[in-house]
Amino acid sequence: MTNTSVKKSEQTVYAIVGPSCTFKSKLAIDLALKFPFEIISADSRLIYKGMDIGTAKPTIEERKLAQHHMIDIVEPDFDYSVALYKRDAEKNIYEILSRKKSPIFVGGTGLYLNSVLMGLSIPEVKPDSSFRRQLKTFTQEELYENLKRLDPKAAEIIHRNDNFRTIRALEVIYKTNKLFSRLKAINEFPFNVVWVGITYSNRDLHLEKIRERAYGFCKEGFLNEVTSLVEKYGELGLFKNTIGYAEAIQFLNGKIKLTEMVDKITLHTRQLVKRQMTWFRSNKGINWFYLDEMGYKELFDRVFNLIQEGSLANTSIVSTG
C-alpha cells in the first residue's frame, strides 16, 4: 500500500466471510442499504465475465442496490493472479474511503482476503508459458505428489484434482525458491478490520442447501451459460477447475447424467467448504454466526446492531477454534 498517512485507528474495513452457500452476498447488500458501504468481492471466480449463474454472482439488479467492485473485470481466458487482486482491491479501498464510505469485503476465497486484509506478501510471479508447458507433460497426480513433497502445507489447502492451483503453486515455488504456503504478513494492514463469519453448525443442513442450489442453477439456465462459454473460449482450464462448470462440461459431453452432475457438484462443493474453513479457522478474529441457530432475520439484526454500535468486542459469538 502506498498511502502511509492514514493511522490504523482512523478507518474501519469490514469483511463478511464464510464457506459457499451461506447468504454472504445477500447480507452485504442488505447492510449496504442501511450503512454507507461499497462492496468488494473476495471471490476468485466473480472476477470473470460470463461466469454468472454457476458462481452465484449477484445479479445486475442486485448490483444496482449497492455499489460492487471486483466483479466482471476480466475475460475467462485472462490469467488473473492473487497479486493482481491485492493491487486492485487495495486501490478500491482507498477510493471508497475517499468518497467517505466504508469498504465491506464479501466472499469465501481465503487467500484473496488474507492477501489484502492480513497484509500477506504475495510474490508477483508472472505466468511462465514455457515452464507451464513442461509441467503439462506430467499427470495431475504426479504434479500434486511433487507439490506434497516440496510444500506439504500447500498441498493441504489445494485439492488434489485442482490442476490450475497445483501448477501455480509449483510455479511460485520454482521461481522464488520459497514455499507457497509461507507467504508471511510483512506489512501491517493500516485499518481496523471487523470480521463477520457466516456458516452452519449442522453440516447435513448445509449440504442440503448446497444440493438445492445446484438444482436451482439448472432451472436458471446454467447449462446454457456453460455451453455459451465453451463455444466462445473452448474448454479452458479455468472452467475445468471451477466447481459446477467442470461437472456441467462432463454432462454436456455425455460423460455423466444430470443427476450425477448435481451429485458431483454437491460433493465437490462440500469438499470446497472444508478447505475454505481451513483458511478461516486460522483467523481468530472472525466472529462466527450460525444460520441454523438463528435464521437470516436474526443474523441480519445482530450484525446490524454490532455495526451500529461500532464494536464486536462484547458479542457472545465464539470464534471457531
Give the tens place of pLDDT for each residue, 222-239: 999 999 999 999 999 999
φ, ψ of residue 24 to 5 degrees: the values are -65, -45
| pTM (2 d.p.) | 0.81
Lowest mean pLDDT among 1-5, 164-168, 185-189: 1-5
Q: Provide the grid cell at 157.
A: 489447502
pLDDT tens-digit readout, 256-276: 999 999 999 999 999 999 989
Residue 76 pLDDT > 80, yes or no? Answer: yes
Residue 204's contacts (CB-CB under 8 Å, 6 or more residues apart) are: none
The b-or-e profile of 65-77 (16+ CB within 10 A means b, else e) is: ebebbbbbbeebe
The b-or-e profile of 235-266 (16+ CB within 10 A means b, else e) is: ebbbbbbbbbbbbbbbbeeeebeeeebbebbb
Res. 161 pLDDT band, cuts 50 70 90 = confident
pLDDT tens-digit readout, 1-24: 334 344 454 689 999 999 999 999
* Model pLDDT, residue 319: 33
Q: Mean pLDDT in the chain?
A: 88
Homologous superfamily of domain range 10-122+183-309: P-loop containing nucleotide triphosphate hydrolases (3.40.50.300)
Within 10 angstroms of residue 165's Cβ, the number of other Cβ atoms is: 17
Lowest mean pLDDT among 67-71, 77-81, 178-182: 178-182
Across 136-146, average pLDDT: 90
Q: How far apart are CA 301 and CA 187, in angstroms?
A: 34
* Model pLDDT, residue 189: 81
Residue 222's contacts (CB-CB under 8 Å, 6 or more residues apart) are: 53, 54, 244, 248
Res. 100 pLDDT band, cuts 50 70 90 = very high
* Model pLDDT, residue 187: 64
Q: How far apart are CA 300 and CA 215, in angstroms?
A: 26
Q: Provide the grid cell at 81.
A: 493472479
* Model pLDDT, residue 317: 39
Residue 113 pLDDT > 60, yes or no? Answer: yes
**What ranges do the domains of the chain cover?**
10-122+183-309, 129-176
